[in-house]
Chains A and B, each alone.
Chain A
């Protein structure tokens, strides 16, 4: 509504604009300064804490990847190499064989190989693992808990807001620094933290 055509208001407008410009610049600068004081040069990545995980199977369906980046990993140093493996075998199965009807894993990703009497080694084929955590639940219930879930960083896209973390019922997911990108168990944990 300013209708004066003299040069004064123009100058005034210019002045206001310049000072606003300076204020905006200072704000961004100040904000950047505060942020840098809280920053780390390291990237943050997502990882789930297997000690909190309740194996609800949501990891297998909530990843943005069609084939979840969460896989079952196996801590050989914790494993009891059981013949009667509650992570490998269907509950109630009486025969300890490798037939599909005795396997707990829905995709056959958990492989059983004979080591020596009475020990069996269990390995995970990550290409097949869907990250449902059925075997983890079995192992946690009756075994040592050597099978557990971890997001694999060669697959993880590291979304800014992990879509699994958002839906995790036990709030087991957190941002962790890239140098400590796994939350492991047993000897693997010590080795990983040392390196």
Chain B
């Protein structure tokens, strides 16, 4: 009978040991091919965003993080990744974001990059659409946050206001509650206490397992988006000439917005808006107010992190398609006040590289659809981003203020 038990459970025990071994052994960080990096840098996949290995290897080369959300997926020929690839710029964008990623996701998911980013530059596209009454939606957070990154943060979190605020917000997201170890650690940080020794050991084991998982499985998915980049590259002129690019952007934008008078890309319009959907959306943004939001505090977490790493960050505030805003009844004065509030938060603390495009929503072919940059809009970004990333920059001087974490600031409607 003993022998039979061994026959039944022996393979199970063996399998368990192999899995444990694979997860807990310190595995080497295998090198990725250049092609792989090209594809992964534009994949917008949660595996890249939350992982460690791919970002680590990209940053070791000439990649620069471009943080953002849904606009990053508008890969027309003037998208930063297309321009950088076509003209062999000294920098290549590492796209970080997808629809639904907001400040809190970026804050968590950039943890493993921070040592590499010290003193480096980055581009950050911040959408006013993040600044809703609810702020980061927990379901979207759950989809994009990475336990690996969270464990990394927890192991270095301290007792300062920023870390306590972050812990409170992360607990509110609910997602980390899946791991008992992480949830307990979050409670301690939120309460302003240090982690206990057993907590640190538990987190370290969990982190090692997650890192190995990232090493073993992060390359299993293949992104199809590199084809979009290549298609865009074929359409661009041979030389990097702003005037020629602008003419082409107008030409392509014109040809692609023939189906409607809202200046929206034909594909987007036909798939997402045409017919009754469009009617339903009339007046749908009436009452949207981006001035009061927990997102301002979450955004402050990022600023604090950038400042701590002494990073030089170019911020970009994209506009809203003016015709669309009018059609959906968005209050422009309130929108402008929200932009003003965000710029105040940046300027007050020494973040002076801000490209405010919020007034450009009515320029022709600036937007690809409702709220996303396209053709001319991407070129406007390039006018600032290219010199920012290719010419010497003065070192920034930041003066952080914890007031921006407070409820009072989240609820402040107007500044100045």
Answer yes or no: do A and B interact.
no
Query: Residues on A close to B: CB < 8 A?
Result: none
